[in-house]
């Protein structure tokens, strides 16, 4: 087993594991200085010390350099302000070069050894000349990272169709796979405008209750299936998977009645 501390670099972002410095304890929310992608960065403790099996550690486990001092945090804030200025200039350079890309965020490494520009684009972009332009202005190593539209929404934030701040920018550390099958299982409209988020992709929240829907499908009959009920046989015409309610058109009554799933059984299958 290995002692680790969970570190994030954004308020809501992927969590990375680091080894604690010997004899040092950490609290959630504390700022620390760590080595990340060949440069120093300010990170924030998202998970206090925890034991993990060595097989759960991907790659080498780096050790936290130190807790951030007030001076380190002042430098961090100064870097963020300067990164905003770099964002403005980068957008001007992109326009001048007529590149089909959009700068979504800019970040300095803590030690200013690197300036990282994240951007979105529909395809591949030849940004070699742009890198030369930026390096000539900022006199540091320039890195351009292409991110997806979901990452862009996470960075920029906004209000989702539900009227609340988008999940990806408020509490989702990592994106989970979402499929159109999830929307079908939940009986939602398949109109893209109604099941897509600000990023234009399927809403992350479709995944939240998917396991419950999958579990319900295993024990409940399907649409159009013939079942037996306390009032006789009938055909399933409606389902509420979460509440486990089955709507059945009962042949002998020529009426549609609602039943708990435990009250009906598939024809030819022994109930219970």
Tell me, what's the pLDDT at 80? Answer: 93
Please state, as a whole number, how many other Cβ atoms lie within 10 Å of the Cβ of residue 264.
Answer: 22
pLDDT, mean of residues 172-182: 87
- Going by C-alpha positions, the residue among 31, 30, 26 that lies closest to residue 5 is 26
Taking a C-beta distance cutoff of 8 angstroms, is the pair 18, 77 a contact? no
Tokens of 234: 């009938």
pLDDT in tens, 85-130: 999 999 999 999 999 999 999 999 998 999 999 999 988 889 999 9
The confidence band for 272, taking pLDDT boundaries of 50, 70 and 90, is very low
pTM for the full predicted model: 0.70
What is the rounded distance in angstroms from the CA atom of residue 101 to the CA atom of residue 28?
Answer: 37
What is the rounded distance in angstroms from the CA atom of residue 76 to the CA atom of residue 112?
Answer: 10
pLDDT in tens, 63-90: 999 999 999 999 999 999 999 999 999 9
Task: Return all residues near 51 (Cβ < 8 A) that are at least 6 apart.
Answer: 1, 2, 3, 4
């Amino acid at each position: 087993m290995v002692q680790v501390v969970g570190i994030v670099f954004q308020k809501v972002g992927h969590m990375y594991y680091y080894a604690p410095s010997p004899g040092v304890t950490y609290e959630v929310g504390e700022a620390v200085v760590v080595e990340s992608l060949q440069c120093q960065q300010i990170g924030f403790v998202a998970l206090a010390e925890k034991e993990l099996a060595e097989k759960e550690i991907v790659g080498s486990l780096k050790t936290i350099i130190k807790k951030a001092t007030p001076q380190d945090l002042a430098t961090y804030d100064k870097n963020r302000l300067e990164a905003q200025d770099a964002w403005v200039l980068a957008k001007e350079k992109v326009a001048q070069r007529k590149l089909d890309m959009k700068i979504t965020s800019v970040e300095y490494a803590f030690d200013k050894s690197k300036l990282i520009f994240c951007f979105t684009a529909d395809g591949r972009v030849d940004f070699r000349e742009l890198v030369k332009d930026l390096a000539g202005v900022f006199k540091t190593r320039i890195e351009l990272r292409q991110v997806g539209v979901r990452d862009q929404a996470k960075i920029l934030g906004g209000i989702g169709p539900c009227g609340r701040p988008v999940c990806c920018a408020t509490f989702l550390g990592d994106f989970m796979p979402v499929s159109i099958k999830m929307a079908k299982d939940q009986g939602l409209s398949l109109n893209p405008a109604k099941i897509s988020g600000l990023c234009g992709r399927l809403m992350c929240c479709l995944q939240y209750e998917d396991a419950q829907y999958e579990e319900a499908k295993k024990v409940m009959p399907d649409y159009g299936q013939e079942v037996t009920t306390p009032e006789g046989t009938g055909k399933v015409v409606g389902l509420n998977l979460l509440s486990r309610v089955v709507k059945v058109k009962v042949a002998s009554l020529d009426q549609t009645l609602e039943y708990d799933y435990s009250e009906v059984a598939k024809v030819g299958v022994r109930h219970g």
